[in-house]
Amino acid sequence: MLVACLVFAGVRAASVYLHELSHSAVALLYRLQPQIHLRLGGSSCTTVPGAAAAGSGAVAVIRHSGWVFSLLLAIAATYACTSVAMVAALWLTALDAISSDALGWTPRSHRVRVCCNAIPLTWEL
């Protein structure tokens, strides 16, 4: 049981990082300079200064890249992994990403509307 909890925690942290990295990779394709801010226990975010100047299409692509990546990773793990803890952590990240990046749901405590993984993804306008 302890091993499963450690696997879950490790995979969850790694999947949040990869999620943020997917936003950053797409932002780099637009020649923007993204900044990933990782914090234990939440509040991880990717800041993309100048994203609005790149256009609304660029903002949408950067925003949606996170949930698409997280969902594809969870689907792949479902078929490839035997660890329930690993698959559960990846699906948790994917569901968080879909709810925030795709649907725009954010906790009331967050003032930023565009976010990922229930943690703010901010755009400097």
Decide if pLDDT at 53 tops 60: yes
* Averaged pLDDT, 64-77: 95
Q: From its phi and psi, is residue 89 left (phi > 0), alpha (psi between -120 and 50) or beta?
A: alpha
Joined tokens for residue 48: 């993309």
Decide if pLDDT at 100 tops 50: yes
Q: Residue count of the chain, please give it.
A: 125
In single-letter form, the type of residue at position 91 comes to W
* Averaged pLDDT, 86-99: 93
Decide if pLDDT at 76 tops 80: yes
Decide if pLDDT at 110 tops 70: no
How many other CB atoms are found less than 10 A from the CB of residue 78? Answer: 12
pLDDT band at 41 (very low <50, low <70, confident <90, very high): low
pLDDT at 117: 44
Question: 25-59 burial by CB neighbour count: b if 16+ within 10 A, else e?
Answer: ebbeebebebeeeeeeeeebbbbbebbeebeeebb
pLDDT band at 42 (very low <50, low <70, confident <90, very high): low
Mean pLDDT, the chain, whole residue set: 82
Give the predicted TM-score (pTM) of the model. Answer: 0.80
* Averaged pLDDT, 50-72: 90
- Percentage of the chain surpassing pLDDT 70? 82
**Cβ 26 vs Cβ 41: under 8 Å:** no
